[in-house]
Amino acid sequence: MKKAILILLTILSVIIAAGCSKDDNDPSEAPVKERILGKWKFISVVTENTVLSEPTETTTEYGVEGDYFDFRSDGNIYYVLGGDTEEIAPYSIENETTLKIENDAFTIKELTQHKLAFQFVKVNANYTRKQAYNLSK
């Protein structure tokens, strides 16, 4: 009788443990290539320009109604910024933190179901320019 109860408890433990396994449908676990797809509202871009021996100049440009970035599975971004004309640029996901748009590499800072933040940094002998883009769904 004790052996039967022990076997029953073991089987019950296995069933409970299997029921507690990780949810395969969790969108935060999907690859960046899948999570980035879709239409994102352009919220703002913060630009920091640093010229040698001068203080950093920071500007923020806010999106207006109708501004968006639409990442599509065809490898293109369809976007509108400050106007009515939709433009297209090729993009690729190089790895979990690098987004390449045309020939520029951006660092993905945050990617959730509702927020996308990425940054571009350009450094040369005379200045450094950082642009941080903020998008939402």
SS3 label, residue 137: coil
Separation between Cα atoms, residue 7 and residue 96, nearest integer Å: 45
Average pLDDT over residues 56-66: 95
**Average pLDDT value over all residues in the chain:** 86
Average pLDDT over residues 118-129: 93
Say yes or no to pLDDT of 33 above 80.
yes
Predicted local confidence at residue 52, as pLDDT: 84
- 30 vs 77 pLDDT, higher one: 77
* Closest listed residue to residue 73, CA positions, set 111, 100, 35: 35
Question: Rounded to an integer, what distance in angstroms lies between the CA atom of residue 112 and that of residue 135?
Answer: 11
8 pLDDT above the threshold of 80: no
